Each structure stands twice: as structure tokens, then as C-alpha cells.
């Protein structure tokens, strides 16, 4: 690597370039994003094709169907779908069909946002989530492999956020803390985008070719980011 060798030489001669030498791997990571995407272009194409289809299903249902009267039934059915997709050895086509059912149910549940917020607010939430996704995708592709410990840290952070939200709901103080909880959600799910991207591009064994589960991870990141951006701005 040309850049890293230059920094190392400058450190050896001047003794004052240690900071630059430490930044060299990160800079090199950003320079390697293009080749890394090209190397994984087949897997990425499958992931984003499925992701866009599932998001399109959710958005169509969101726009054209009323809010379901059985939100809790849809919620628990959605959890079952997630478990089937992520935890089973079904063929990819079968997982994609289950994903489509999950996307439909998500659209029905999320339709409640039409009653709470204007189209402009929802549009801003979607655009904000897409911006965060793009930035964290680049960061996740540039940084070194994060590993399992980072993933567990995110999991426990998300668990803590869920507990905090439940406590504020039970205390009747959700309105007071909504902005802060939404801000925390943006941070956590932004880091999830970074972590998922890092696993997709730099840990081939993590998904082992399962583009449906990989696209599900991105889908959940995006849906939660949209909700938290809307909550933070309002």
C-alpha cells in the first residue's frame, strides 16, 4: 500500500507523523470502497434488488390500505416471519415469499403514520433515513472488520432502548422523552447499517450467500430509521 508506506517513512524520519500513520488504514479503506463493491457486486445486486422490492411492497400497502385493527396480531406474526427468514434453512425463494408477507404486514401497521403526520413530514423522514443509510454504508465499507463483539454491543444497546421506551410508555412520559429516544434510535440503527455493511462486504462467511437475510437486516434498519427520524423531527 503506497499511502501507508509513505506515512511510515515520514514517521521514521521526522518522528512527528504518528497521527497520519494511524489514519492511513482508514484513508486506504475509503480508497478501497470501489474495488470492494465491484468484488461483491453480484451479492450486493441480489441484496438491493430484494430490498427495493420489499420496500416497494411496504410503501404500496402503506399508501393504499387502511390501518389494521389487529396491530398486535400483525406484530407477533411479523416476529414469526423474521424468525423464519433469519433462522431457517428454507430455499431463498421461500424466504423471499415470507419476506413479502412480512413487508405487507409492516405496511399495514405503519399506515398509522398517515393519521399522525402529514405527507411532507413522512417524506422528510424517508429522505432523512436514506441520507443516513448512504453515509453509514460508506463508513461501514471503509472501516476494518468490526467483529462479533461490536454486534453484541449494538444488540444490548437496542435492548436498552426498547426497555427505556417501554418504561416511558408505562409512566405516561413518552411525549417528554420522545425526541431523545428517537435520537438514540437514529444513532443505534445508523450503526447497525454500518455493521451490516461491514459484514456484507468484509465477512463473506457471515451471511454465507444468504442475500434474503442480508436484505432483511437492511430493511429493518431503514424502517426503524424512518420512524426515528420522523419522531425526532416532530
Determine the pLDDT at residue 25: 60
Give the tens place of pLDDT for each residue, 123-139. Answer: 999 999 999 999 999 99
Residue 36: all three cell numbers together: 470492494
- CA gap 100, 139 in Å, rounded: 29
All cell numbers assigned to 24: 492511513
Mean pLDDT of all residues in 93-109: 95
pLDDT at 44 over 90: yes
Burial of 90 from C-beta contacts in 10 A (0-12 / 13-18 / 19+): middle
Closest CA to 197 of 136, 131, 149, 150: 136
Average pLDDT over residues 15-39: 65
pLDDT over 80 (residue 173): no
Domain boundaries, the chain: 32-233
pLDDT at 75: 86
Note the pLDDT of residue 43: 93
- Is the pLDDT reported for residue 171 higher than 90? no
User: Please, which pLDDT band fits residue 116 given cuts at 50, 70 and 90?
Assistant: confident
Residue-level pLDDT at 147: 85
Q: Residue 233 in contact with residue 179, Cβ under 8 Å?
A: no
Question: Pick the residue with more confidence: 163 or 31?
Answer: 163
Q: Are 76 and 100 in contact (CB under 8 A)?
A: no
Cell numbers placing 115: 393519521
- C-alpha distance across the termini of the chain, in Å: 47
- The confidence score (pLDDT) of residue 29 equals 62
Q: What is the DSSP letter of 16?
A: -
Amino acid at each position: 500500500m503506497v499511502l501507508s508506506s509513505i506515512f511510515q517513512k515520514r514517521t521514521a524520519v521526522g518522528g512527528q507523523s504518528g497521527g497520519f500513520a494511524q489514519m492511513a488504514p482508514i484513508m486506504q479503506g475509503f480508497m478501497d470502497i470501489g474495488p470492494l463493491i465491484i468484488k461483491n457486486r453480484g451479492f450486493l445486486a441480489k441484496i438491493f434488488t430484494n430490498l427495493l422490492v420489499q420496500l416497494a411492497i411496504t410503501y404500496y400497502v402503506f399508501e393504499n390500505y387502511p390501518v389494521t385493527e389487529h396491530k398486535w396480531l400483525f406484530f407477533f406474526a411479523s416476529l414469526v416471519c423474521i424468525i423464519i427468514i433469519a433462522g431457517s434453512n428454507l430455499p431463498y425463494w421461500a424466504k423471499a415469499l415470507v419476506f413479502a408477507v412480512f413487508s405487507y404486514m409492516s405496511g399495514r401497521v405503519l399506515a398509522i403514520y398517515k393519521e399522525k403526520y402529514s405527507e411532507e413530514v413522512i417524506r422528510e423522514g424517508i429522505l432523512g433515513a436514506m441520507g443516513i443509510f448512504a453515509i453509514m454504508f460508506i463508513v461501514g465499507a471503509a472501516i476494518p472488520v468490526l467483529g462479533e463483539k461490536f454486534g453484541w454491543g449494538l444488540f444490548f444497546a437496542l435492548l436498552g432502548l426498547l426497555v427505556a421506551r417501554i418504561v416511558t410508555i408505562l409512566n405516561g412520559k413518552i411525549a417528554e422523552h420522545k425526541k431523545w429516544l428517537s435520537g438514540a434510535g437514529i444513532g443505534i440503527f445508523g450503526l447497525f447499517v454500518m455493521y451490516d455493511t461491514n459484514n456484507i462486504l468484509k465477512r463473506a462467511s457471515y451471511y454465507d450467500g444468504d442475500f434474503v437475510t442480508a436484505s432483511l437486516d437492511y430493511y429493518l434498519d431503514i424502517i426503524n430509521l424512518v420512524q426515528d427520524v420522523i419522531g425526532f423531527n416532530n
